[in-house]
Amino acid sequence: MANLLNYDASQMLAFILVLVRVIGIIATAPVFGSSVTPPQIKIVLSLTLALILYPFISSLEDFPIRPDDYLFLISSELLIGLILGLVGRFLFAAVEFAGTVIGFQMGLSMANVLDPQSQEQISLVGRFETVAATLIFLAMDGHLILIQALVKSFSVLPIGTANISKPLVDKLTDLSASVFVIGLQIGAPLIVALFLANAIIGLLSRSVPQIQVFVVGFPLTLLLGFLFLFLGMPFYSQAVHQMFEMLDIQLFDSLKLLKG
């Protein structure tokens, strides 16, 4: 067991490797990596977690002598943390994509706001669903799942044993592609309902040309969108909860692929 009270230079360098992996996941994970979270909080949290974990982590047996080998270890540990954090970010990206599509169907594509997490313009519905998903994520202890994955990563992947392989790249590619699939699945009820409403309005405008489509259609679509959004919140919460239940499985699969 490592001991920071009686350390030498190699132990301090090993602690830096642990700290780099912790920083990687804190910087990219949902909630932790949000730009709303002050950088001071991220730094203190990273140092605290690294100090807690380091005494229980086995040190490197063959410590690199050359500086370039040590820099390679730092990049490898940082990559592990970044990948673990990005797995959770993909799920939130799916929620944001669903809200963006729903907002476009409701006619709110021009009413965008600045998302403080991604520093990008997103729709009002997307922002609302992202906040709701964040609350569900915290209620089901999703932030603790990320910390558990970080702790488990040191037993599955000791320092200096990460391996970037083709299956890992394929896994990350599939996760990025699933953003659109999961997003459409979450927003499918509202997307289909609003599409049918717009189709009915279009048929009415063709059959009764006297109807002012732009005067009647926009308020009606907006009203139906908010109504369906309100009535569909229980189903949305259940779908998001089921999606977050896959987080620990996705994290463990990523660790296994990093192990090679």
Euclidean distance between CA atoms 83 and 176, whole angstroms: 12
User: What angle in degrees, to the nearest 10, is found between the helix axes of 67-106 and 213-231?
Assistant: 120
Structural domain contains residue 1: no
Structural domain contains residue 239: yes
pLDDT of residue 231: 84
pLDDT of residue 56: 81
Structural domain contains residue 85: yes
**The model's pTM:** 0.80
Structural domain contains residue 64: yes
pLDDT of residue 62: 64
Dihedral sign computed on CA atoms, order 161, 165, 170, 176: positive
pLDDT of residue 93: 87
pLDDT of residue 23: 92
pLDDT of residue 33: 82
Structural domain contains residue 111: yes
Structural domain contains residue 35: yes
> Which residues, listed in sequence order, are joined to residue 121 by a DSSP beta bridge?
114
Q: Is 120 exposed, middle or buried (0-12, 13-18, 19+ CB in 10 A)?
A: exposed
Q: Which of 141, 181, 155, 172 is nearest to 259 (CA)?
A: 155
212-248 burial by CB neighbour count: b if 16+ within 10 A, else e?
A: ebeeebeeebeebbeebbeebeeebeebbeebbeebb
pLDDT of residue 211: 67
Give the CA radius of gyration of the chain: 23
Structural domain contains residue 126: yes
pLDDT of residue 20: 92
**Structurally, how many domains does the chain consist of?**
1
Mean pLDDT by 10 residues, the chain (260 residues): 57 84 90 82 90 79 72 87 88 86 74 58 78 90 88 84 80 85 85 81 73 70 82 86 86 82
Range of the domain at 55: 9-259
Euclidean distance between CA atoms 136 and 115, whole angstroms: 18
Contacts of residue 253, Cβ cutoff 8 Å, sequence gap at least 6? 171
